[in-house]
Structure formats: C-alpha cells, structure tokens
Amino acid sequence: MLEEKKKLLLEKQQKEKQDQYQLQRDKEKEDFIDENDKQQQQRQIKDNKENDVDFDQQLYEENLIIKLKQYKFGSIDSIFYIEDFINKQEEETILSNVYNKENESKWTQLKKRRLQNWGGNPISSGMIEEEIPQWLNIICEKIHNSSIFPTRNAKPNHVLLNEYNVNEGIMPHKDGPLFFPMVCILSLNSTLTNHFFIYPT
C-alpha cells in the first residue's frame, strides 16, 4: 500500500513538472510570437514612414520645379536667376559686417582675390561645421524659407565670401562634392557676369 502511494505521488509530481514545462514552452512560444509581431509592426511603421518621407520629398521636388520654372535663365536647365533676392538694407548689413574690424582676421589672401569662410573650412575629406553668425544666418534662413533648395528642410550650412575688385574674377572651375546638389550665388555691391558650362562627363 505504501509503495502504491509513493508511485502515485511520483506520477503526480512528474505530471506537474510536465504541465509546468508545457506551460513554460507555451509562454515562450507566445512571447516569441508577440516579439515577432512587434518587430513586424515596427518594420511596417518604419517602412510607412520612409514611404511617407519619399512621397513628401517627391511632392516637394515636383512643386520646386514648378516654383523655379519662372526663374529659369539661359540654356542650362539647372540655372535660375532671382532678381533682387535681398533688399538694400539687408545688403548693407552684410557688407558692414564683412568689413567690420572684428572680422578682419577672417580674411584669407589668395593670389588674385581674398575670401572669408563661414560655417567651417571645406576640405576633400569633409567639413567640421562651425556656427554661422546671425548676420549671415538671416540670409540662410531667407533661402531656407524660400524653399529653393532641392531637399525639404535643407538650409545653407556654409558661406564663402569672395572679394573681387574691378576686372577681377575666377577661372572656370567645378565646385567639389560637398557643394552638391545646389549652391546659391549672391552678388553684393555691384553687378557681375557669370558664365556657366555643362561639365563634360
């Protein structure tokens, strides 16, 4: 009788262990499915966001083409001319700061011109960005708010100020990859003549 009770007790314990083990397996399986579902949902959300961004960017670019069409200038499709982009007061503010004694050390003298770099010094390996002063940032903000850059929310992050005297200029050249895909040229204190060429591939 005692042996029979022990046997029944052992069977009961084994059954409880099996049930517990099965419950644990079921729980792990549910957790795995939940985690799988969660990861799939996260991937779907990410894909949806990327698709939304792609669509928004595509729509932005299409609207940009329509907007810039009125400013198309010359025979090259990617050249646009916006007359009087800044007013006289904005021009005078920039020039007064360019030639301010506090910024005298910013000048770099080259053979046929001198220049100021604002926002960082671009080199072939990249550029460590620096803060652009407020008097220049106002113009950068104006360009940004005009939505004329090809990427949504893009804002100019570098300003190269070149000083040319009468009958001075720069030889034909190609801007480096850091300036791709768009640059803005702002002429101050006088008119200028620019010649643009399609670079041979």
pTM of the model: 0.65
pLDDT, tens digit, for every residue of 16-70? 766 676 677 666 666 655 566 666 666 665 655 555 556 566 766 667 777 778 8
Token pair of 81, please? 């001319």
Angstrom distance (rounded) from CA 31 to CA 9: 33
Residue-wise DSSP of 88-155: HHHHHHHHHHHT-GGGGGGEEE-SS-EEEEES---BTTB----PPPHHHHHHHHHHHHTT-SSSTT--
Per residue in 109-166, pLDDT tens?
988 899 999 998 887 777 888 999 999 999 999 988 887 777 666 788 899 999 998 8
String of DSSP letters for 5-46: HHHHHHHHHHHHHHHHHHHHHHHHHHHHHHHHHHHHHHHHHH
From 72-76, 94-98, 180-184, 197-201, the region with the lowest mean pLDDT: 197-201
Taking phi over 0 as left and psi of -120 to 50 as alpha, with beta for the rest, 84 belongs to left
Residues paired with 117 in a beta bridge: 160
Q: Which residues of 134-172 are buried (b: 16+ CB within 10 A; e: fewer)?
A: ebbbebbeebeeeebbeeeeeebebbebebeeeeeeeee
pLDDT in tens, 83-98: 999 999 999 999 999 9
pLDDT digits (tens, 9 = 90+) for 163-179: 998 888 888 888 888 88
Tokens of 9: 């007790």
